[in-house]
Amino acid sequence: MSQYHAPLHDIEFLAASVFPLDAHLEDCGSSLDASLVRSVVLEAGKFAQSVLDPINRAGDIEGCRLQDGAVRVPDAFQHAYRAFCEGGWNGLRQPEEYGGQGLSYVLSTLTEEIWHACNPSFALCAMLTSGAIETLLSAADPALKAQLLPRLISGEWTGTMNLTEPAAGSDLAAVKTRAIPKADGSYAISGQKIFITYGDHDLAANIIHLVLARLPDAPAGAKGLSLFAVPKYLVNSDGTLGARNDVHCTALEHKLGIHASPTAVMQFGADAGAIGYLVGERNEGLKTMFIMMNEARFSVGNQGLAISERAYQHAVWYARERVQGRIVGEEERGGTILRHPDVRRMLLAMKSRIQAMRALGMYISMRRDEAHAAGQPETRRQARERVELLIPVMKGWFTENAQRITYDAVQVFGGMGFIEETGAAQYYRDARILTIYEGTTAIQANDLLGRKTLRDRGAQAGGLLDEIRQLARALQEGAAASRAFGERLEHACVHLRAAIDWLLAHGAEDPRGAHAGAAAYLELWGTVAGAWMHGLRLRAALGGGLEGEARQAAQASAQFYADHILIHAGGLKTAICEGAESVDGFPDTRWTE
């Protein structure tokens, strides 16, 4: 099986030439520079290659188990988690005030890609903890922050997100978990939550569950939810652990993939009620939880990129090794399948999508840095709005790409891809959840359409599209190598503009028709945004950022994206603007005939 290598060359190109990182970090008031970022990413790659990648396959085979009411993760995860925490990886971007290193979102995004590429089941624990930290930082009172954050940031404790219930999936208004006020200011939490990632495990001494629940006097629906921090073990005033709280894992799910990550059914308050502490304001729980949700959606998008990169690397390794058949157009037998035209097509489809995703992920993480920097309020506002617009694109489009890329990786392997021992099937299985958890692709698409486009009458979407179109026109005025790409990109912008205009004109009077095209709208945005990134990469490569074969490869990747992926923009626009009637045109009584 191939060994993972962190994509340092691509990261260095992005950081030096596409999005000059030194200037960005200086503008954000960071003490980092691009050289230090490179050093940290290099060390992350070494750690992942030596510690995380080798136990990925073993963890998938061993899985997790529930024994005597306690969850056991794969044995090899114990050493890996201790080494991860001792290396300080858990708190890279967290505030120094609570023991973190206070580094940038860009750096944490790059390292998190590496963790998820090598071992997504392992990396999910830190991912959920990071989301819990972000939520507590934003909404918890000072005493609760002081009690919980240092140990969450160090990795001594971990965090979870508890939203879903058996009768409340995407419809969180149906949440029934109760929170009863107690005389000491805490709350007694009772109810059941399902699909809780790392809801219980034996890696850390304590687990802090962030739980959505309903107070007795709360209004009905989503507006009546509050958020509570519920520790597995109660915490004494001196910070030591006290009695076991009334929260227990009652079952583990048996899943298609990510077998080494425990997905738990959690019971709160089977006896006296689990003790919890309010986070944020009463009845503002869903708003507060969306801090963690958006954090998770960004990270799951990054996870889609990561698994895609690992699957691609493995597929390239196999294509270079496997000798099979006579190569079309070549006389001699004995060449590897890397020379077969269709294998090259699949690998280029994988690579061009991955390069677009990594660039877009870096772009969004830079805006996240700006949104949190001590700069001008207007700059922070603009950065925050850009992030909010692109989060559903990153989550939805990246994870849909992961389905295509891991599928093609299995196809490159041929029959051997269907055999578990080669490892290709695990990427395919692990990636399948990405379009589902933290909000399905349809939920991301509805968010992009409803909250991010219709609500402001296309102001944010139109503003970004104008920026992309400016790049397309600039490319057409540049070197011959960029003109054809610029023309394709501008044509795609015209299609996206037409789709936005149609949705704005029909969204209010025909909401079902507009939402029938929401998934196509998200795909169109992802496709155009990916081309935007390739345009930026192409401009930087031709401007001296790359030389020789590296420049040739960047041009070829951009051209492939334009010829094979961007050309679908017109079809997606047609599906959005003309396909709504056919969605509701099928008789409800005929589905089974």
Enzyme catalytic residues: 438
Place of tokens 């629940």: 213
Residues whose CB falls within 8 Å of the CB of residue 412, separated by 6 or more in sequence, listed in order: 315, 318, 319, 337, 343, 346, 347, 424
- Closest among 90, 142, 96 to 279, alpha carbons compared: 142
Cβ(288)–Cβ(299) below 8 Å:
no
- The two tokens of residue 188 are 């007694």
Measured distance CA(193)–CA(263) in Å, rounded: 11
Neighbours of 329 (CB within 10 A): 7
> Cα dist. 318→5, 156, 347 in Å?
15, 40, 11
- Return d(Cα 368, Cα 94) in angstroms, integer: 14
Termini Cα distance of the chain: 46
Alpha carbon of residue 159 to chain centroid:
17
Please name which of 534, 519, 525 lies closest in space to residue 492, comparing C-alpha atoms. Answer: 525
- SS3 call for 376: coil
Q: What is the distance between the alpha carbons of residues 348 and 576, in angstroms, rounded to a whole number?
A: 28
> Phi, psi at residue 208, to the nearest 5°?
-105, 110
How would you classify residue 587: left for phi > 0, otherwise alpha for psi between -120 and 50, otherwise beta? beta
| 3-class state of residue 264 by DSSP | strand
Specify whether the CB–CB gap between 311 and 424 falls below 8 A. yes
176 vs 222: CA distance, rounded Å:
11
β-bridge partners, 241: 235
For residue 79, give the amino acid letter: H
User: Comparing C-alpha atoms, which of 419, 369, 559 is closest to residue 481?
Assistant: 559
Rounded Cα gap, residues 31 and 33, in angstroms: 7
| Whole-number CA gyration radius for the chain | 24
Phi–psi pair at 196, nearest 5 degrees = -95, 110
